[in-house]
Structure formats: C-alpha cells, structure tokens
Amino acid sequence: MVVPVPPPPLLASHVAVRAAASAISHGRRVLLNGDHPPQVAALGRGDWVKLICGASFEDAADVRNLSLVYTLAGVDCIDCAADASVVGAVNEGIEVAASIVPTVQRPWLMISVNDDCRDLHFRKAEFDPDDCPLDCSKPCEKVCPADAISLKHSMVDGERTLSDPLRGKYEGGVITERCYGCGRCLPVCPYDRIRAVSYVRDPTMTAELLKRDDVDAIEIHTTGKGTDMFNTLWDNLSGSINNVKLVSLPDIGESTVDLMNTIYTIMEPHFKGYNLWQLDGRPMSGDIGRGATRETVSFAAHVASMSERPPVGWWHQLIHC
C-alpha cells in the first residue's frame, strides 16, 4: 500500500510572512476601484498578476504549496490544470493562506483547457525504461527542470548489478503528474526513445469543474489554426462558464485580430462575465531559450498598434520570466 507523504509543515508561525502578506493585502485593498472585484481593479490598473502552475502539471502537493505562497504574495489569479485533484490542491493552499492572514485577497482560480491537441501546453513525455540501454548516462533525467524523470538501475536475481553496469535494467521513467510538457528531454535522448503524447482536456469533466463555486475562471488555449475546434469546445462549455474566460492566443501575425473577431463572434451569444485576451508570443518558451519576453511584448505592441482594434475585453500579456 502506498502511504501518501504529508506536505511539509506550513509557515503559519512565521510572523514575518504574516506581516508581509498583510501589508500586501492592505496595499491592494486601498487601490480598489468602486464595486469591482479586486482582480478587475488590477486589470484596469495594468498590474494583474497570475501564477501559472502549468496546464499539465498535476503534482497536488507542489500545487498546493505554490498556491499557499503566491496567495500570501498577493497574486490575482492562480492558473492550474483542469483536474479535480489539482483544483482541490489550489483551494487548499488558498484556504491555508487565509488562515494565516485572514485579510488576504482570494485569487481567482483559473483552469486551463485546450481546443486542439497541437497546443504544446497539453502534452506529456513518455518512454519505456525497458528500452533504455544501461550504458546511457540518462541525460533526460538531468535536463528535466521538474524532476519528472526518475530512473533506477534495478536488481536482477536478488543481487545488485551495479558492479556490472551492463547487467540488469532501468526502472522508473516519467512521473506523469510532474511532467508539464516542456520538451527539454526530447532532443537529448541519444537513442530517440522519448515521445511526446498530446491530449485534449475532456470538455465534460471541464464543464463539471466550472459548475463548482470554487472555480472562478477558464483559460482556453487556441492555436489559431482554424476556429472549428474552438467552436466545438465553446458549444460544450459555454453553458457552464459564468464568470471569467481568458482566451490565450499565439502570435499569428496580421491575422491575429481577424482570429479574435471570429472567436468573439462565437462566444458572444453566450457571453457572461469578463473576457480577457492573453497574448502568448512564443508559447511554452518561458523557460526555454532567450527572448521570449521580448517577443511577447512586441506581439502586444504590434496588436495594439493595428488600426482595426480587437473586440472588447481586457488584454493581458503573458510575460515569461
């Protein structure tokens, strides 16, 4: 039987943490505008901040601890995988933060889904450790930033084989819930054993999550390669979306505003709550390669300078850092 390891002790006794979080929440409250939720006021001011746990990252203990710390830090939104256990972990982190600092702002809880499996956020690495030669130095394990690959040289016939490194086999592989699909491991495998498995979040499960009163918002990733799939997804979800929807777009050049117009036309008949556009620049590149932030800012500047303005909604640039 696998006994779950309890998360590490909380920082509840840390007076400095409480004082800092209280100061942040007080500072934000005095900046509120009218009757809008604080997150909307932050959007209006242009200092709305979102924690991205990862559309595919599903390690509940880490998600819960990140949510706790970033709630205390005053983020406006926590974006996580559209998975019931991950949503539960985010809410647990927020609740613990509120128990430490009762005045802390409750961030929006946003779940991320896709309309097309070609979106890089929705993939997992996969390989069979039985296919790994024992003389491989395991570069995949070293390069993974999420500690999502674990390989051990196993015993054979009850004896350790480490004295003969070419006997035995590797066991383990990708820890699926920790893999967020960054793709780093794919090119480093000298034997080409790793593949990326893409998926689309189940819209029925997503609709169920959206009906919960502790899920505030949805982020819909679209690749911009046609809107038929967005249309189908919206048909499945629109009846369940009551509050915030954020549409995440990559840079598709001069067609960007046309795409936004088409998507807006699809959403408009069932439009409720707030709408945000997220300009992604170079998707899934925040921690890979240089220049992602510059590309995002230049994408936003380009869209803002277009003579034909995109339809209503707040704009949010995803600044990768």
Positions that interact with ligand SF4 (CB under 6 A): 125, 127, 132, 136, 138-140, 143-144, 146, 148-149, 151, 174, 179-185, 189, 191, 193-194
Select 121 or 184, whichever has its Cβ closest to ligand SF4: 184
Select 140 or 217, whichever has its Cβ closest to ligand SF4: 140
Closest contact distance (angstroms) between CB of 131 and ligand SF4 is: 7
Closest contact distance (angstroms) between CB of 194 and ligand SF4 is: 5
Select 153 or 225, whichever has its Cβ closest to ligand SF4: 153
Select 189 or 233, whichever has its Cβ closest to ligand SF4: 189
**What radius of gyration, in Å, describes the C-alpha atoms of the chain?**
22
Closest contact distance (angstroms) between CB of 62 and ligand SF4 is: 13
Closest contact distance (angstroms) between CB of 65 and ligand SF4 is: 18
Q: What CA–CA distance (Å, rounded) separates 320 from 295?
A: 10
Select 81 or 279, whichever has its Cβ closest to ligand SF4: 81
Closest contact distance (angstroms) between CB of 156 and ligand SF4 is: 18
Cα–Cα distances in Å, from 176 out to 57, 124, 170? 9, 7, 17
Burial state string for 118-147 with b = 16 or more CB within 10 A and e = fewer than 16? ebbbbbbbebebeebeeeeeeebbeebebe
- Which residue is it, tokens 């679209």? 222
Select 133 or 239, whichever has its Cβ closest to ligand SF4: 133
Select 106 or 178, whichever has its Cβ closest to ligand SF4: 178
Closest contact distance (angstroms) between CB of 128 and ligand SF4 is: 9
Of 35, 71, 34, the residue nearest 53 (C-alpha): 71
Closest contact distance (angstroms) between CB of 178 and ligand SF4 is: 7
Q: In what order do the strands lie in the sheet with 244-249?
A: 50-52, 77-81, 108-114, 217-221, 244-249, 274-279, 314-317
